[in-house]
Amino acid sequence: IQNDIPVSKLLLGPDPIRSWKNGLICFITTLCRKSISYGADSDYCFAVSDYYINMAEKKRTMQELKDLLEEIVDMYRELIEEQSLGTHSVYISKALFFIKHNLFLPLSVQEVAAHINLSSSHFSKLFLKEIGVSPSDYIEALKMKEAISMLKSGQYKILEVAEVLGYCSASHFTKRFHIYYGISPKKMLHANF
């Protein structure tokens, strides 16, 4: 073997770019499996993995590949931190992740329970025990927090916020908002909330 040929070139591909791409694909696959082992949603992890593998294949320079590597590491670090099992059981970690990434849908407790393969009643008891609030209250709290952020941005009308957050109508959203905050979304826009 010639001494001036990099080991990575010999092991992973015929040229440095292909070698980096192949190494990146192996790395992505490993991170994907590790994230799943920490309780992250497998479908989501595989989708992220596919996305980054496709992105790697499109890169043409070493710098583009190195920049992508940094992005991948940051993404999976965040994913694994979200799914840390030190605080919650695997079921609740998966539920929290699923709720966070499906917040803009009309999400029900039954859907979350089905996603993690538990009955609604068992899931609700476990969630209350570990998180301290019911799943429905937790989902609504996240939606209301997002609603405040969207309304304060000034980019969305009340109807748009209701639609984006999965409420069946603007009036239903307004009622829930008023119950939650004690003020209507319209008044909140004009107040220093």
Residue 11 in this model has a pLDDT that exceeds 90: no
Distance CA 120, CA 122 (A): 6
For 89, counting Cβ atoms within 10 Å of its Cβ (0-12 exposed, 13-18 middle, 19+ buried), the class is: middle
* pLDDT of res. 33: 86
Question: What's the predicted TM-score (pTM) here?
Answer: 0.56
165 neighbors 146 (Cβ within 8 angstroms): yes
Distance CA 97, CA 76 (A): 13
35-77 tens-digit pLDDT: 777 766 677 788 888 888 988 999 999 999 999 999 888 888 7
End-to-end CA distance of the chain: 70
Residue 8 in this model has a pLDDT that exceeds 50: no
169-191 tens-digit pLDDT: 999 999 999 998 888 998 887 76
DSSP code for 191 = T
Residue 9 in this model has a pLDDT that exceeds 50: no
Distance CA 20, CA 189 (A): 51
Handedness of CA 159, 164, 165, 168 (dihedral sign): positive
Longest Cα pair distance anywhere in the chain, in angstroms? 75
Residue 7 in this model has a pLDDT that exceeds 50: no
* pLDDT of res. 85: 46
Residue 137 in this model has a pLDDT that exceeds 70: yes
* pLDDT of res. 6: 47
3-state secondary structure of 5: coil
91-112 tens-digit pLDDT: 888 898 889 888 888 889 999 9
